[in-house]
Structure 1
């Protein structure tokens, strides 16, 4: 009889390749190879005759072929496939029966009845005592989820594995107990440590959440803090915008006055340019007023920069503004801040005062800036109109000056007539 084991291996490989869906991440040919390899470890280190070794090898190769038919009671389906294949290959009926019993021994709900079944059971569950246990376990979890059989979270699956390794599973053969049991215990220890670490992490997170909630209840609401933060930020941003606008006006008007002084003023000495005096004055005065108002808008106010202990006790001083403390000594300011931080109401009152006075400063700046832009705009318009009118009037005056006077045109004629008449006489 040709080597039936090699034929069986080839048959199982083709069957799984052609008929087993790719969704089987664990129960595939890789798993079959691992079981077959573990089985050979036991055979090589045990006193097993050639026929029993053949039965075990055939069982290892055929034990999960039933997954090509069904996921429920796949052991029975594997037995049917094994019987059909081995019968076609004219294998002895006693061997076929033994193979069927070994395959059924891989069912967790059954107990192995003889040495062959014990060996087969240990080979099928050898991954519990291997370094690749974590990898194969995760493949099995995902396979169950994809197949719609069961869905476990990583924590739930961890509990299932701990239960399996500590209570349900056991090795039966002497070789497995000597060589795989210690690794199984290490895998179990890792699972338990990981569970403890996870529980500790969850406990720590719960405590953090508890204290955070407690602190949040005791402290002012976050919305209040957000209000002050956003309001102060917006006030400072608006103040920067106002200063920028004032600086633009200063720069523009400085350029205008420079051009006026360098180009127009030097021409006013000439009597023929008298018509430029009024437009130039309007132009210059509007620019100067705009510059003055821009400077006033950005000019800082001088504050006394001092406070007394009475001011702190009466909560009159605003310690959030530098103008109220810049002349004080460091120790005095630190003591004042310590008093401020002891009283939440004082803190928020200080922030409210800061907001209020910032708003007053902004109101002053923007009112002056509005007036400044209005004067600048009106001054430009009036200046342009004045220049236009002056040019037109001056042009008309020059044309009249160029025309000859009526008396000057007639007088020579009279003289000519008189002369002529005198000559005729």
Structure 2
């Protein structure tokens, strides 16, 4: 039947119309789909033993049922009926059969609601692919067409879920299509359901990865918000250097104390006994100068090493208001263990408080060092100048004794 002159002309008309006017994004409802629907309609129609005239009407409707895509995508059935009616009138096809063909075309509208056998056949032919092994390939083409025409992108899970719902609600209307295609359609539906589960699992996995990635980014951001390692190293090295300088100052003071103590011991054991004799009166002033300078040097050396401890009395409110530096023992030695632990937790939770405490510790350690080195410098200067004065005094005293 498809080799008849009528169908050769109809095929040519449909082919030329779709070739010249069909938009490029229509990749599913094209001539290939139309031809497949025609062949499926022929197969089902013959299996359902419809008359030759009904088969002719059915096949004409099959050839023309999607030609309306050349005009519009929405309500393309209406355009298909208009184009079909106009073309069939031009070739002098009977008017009553044209009306019948238009009704058959109208039955392909989703959701399908056929009212007679011919409408049932074309509905089954139009969705014939649901019960074939190339269902997935056709589904992918339809997805591309919808995305291209509607300017919308479907996620995998959205598209698969739509397919699952569509297949689950679909029914083949003719006995032949049901017997031949329903088993494979069920297999396709089970595969789609499996794909839905996979897609959901994949989505959950992706969301978990994104959550972990977000958490990792937040950790990195939190880490980035903290002072850099170089700043922490700066505090560590600077505090270490200050403590080392304090140790050096204490060592120098101890050296000066030791030397002064030795000198004082020698002076007291050697010079003082000689001052009892009137003949040694010339040694009194040089000795007193020498002893005075030694004692003053020792006093300044002791002052430079003398520790100072603060009161150590602070309340929780002082800690909450960040008024106290708990990193220095002198500030917490009278606090209870519980108050100290609470205060340290406050410092550890508050980055600004922590680094301000380190700054305070560094600052006040610097002030202590300044005082230490100032007193130590005075002590060394006194010792140096005093030794010179003492030697000069002894020289003058001896010269005075010779000339006197």
TM-score of the superposition, structure 1-length normalised? 0.49
CA distance in 2, matches of 1:150, 1:101: 32
Q: Give how far 1:44 is off.
A: 2.9
Q: Which residue of 2 aligns with 1:307?
A: none
The residue number in structure 1 matching 2:118 is 116
Deviations 1:185-215 (A, max 9, x none): 1111111111112222333455566678889
Q: Which residue of 2 aligns with 1:152?
A: 154
Task: Report the CA distance between 1:49 and its aligned residue.
Answer: 0.9
2:21 maps to 1:19:
yes
Structure-1 separation of matches of 2:195 and 2:219 = 36
Extract unaligned runs of 5+ from structure 1. Answer: 229-425
The equivalent of 1:171 in structure 2 is: 172
- Deviations along 1:23-52, whole A, 9 cap, x unmatched? 211111011011112112212322111001
- Secondary structure of the residue aligned to 2:199 is helix
What's the offset of the Cα at 1:78?
A: 0.7
CA deviation map 1:323-372 (0-9, x unaligned): xxxxxxxxxxxxxxxxxxxxxxxxxxxxxxxxxxxxxxxxxxxxxxxxxx
Per-residue deviation, residues 100-148 of structure 1 (Å, max 9, x unmatched): 1110000114510100000011101111111121111111111122223
Tell me the alpha carbon deviations over residues 57-87 of structure 1, each in whole angstroms, 9 at most, x when there is no partner.
1011000111111112111111111111111
> d(CA) in 2 for partners of 1:18 and 1:209?
47
* Superposition CA RMSD, Å: 3.4
Aligned length: 232
- Please state if 1:127 is matched with 2:129: yes
Measured in 1, the distance between the counterparts of 2:37 and 2:103 equals: 17
Residue in 1 that maps onto 2:352 = none
The equivalent of 2:109 in structure 1 is 107
Q: Is the partner of 1:119 in helix, strand or coil?
A: helix
Q: Distance in 2 between matches of 1:218 and 1:127?
A: 51
CA drift of 1:154 comes to: 2.1
Tell me if structure 1 keeps the 8 A contact 2:69–2:76: yes
With over 3 angstroms needed to count, the CA separation of the structure-2 counterparts of 1:47 and 1:155, relative to structure 1, is: same
| CA shift in 2, pair 1:198/1:7, >3 Å | same
Aligned partners of 2:60, 2:71: CA distance in 1, in Å? 19
Question: How many Å separate the matches in 1 of 2:214 and 2:107?
Answer: 56
Partner of 1:55: 57
How far apart are the structure 2 equivalents of 1:15 and 1:185? Answer: 36
- Counterparts of 1:131-146 in structure 2 under 5 Å? 131-146=133-148
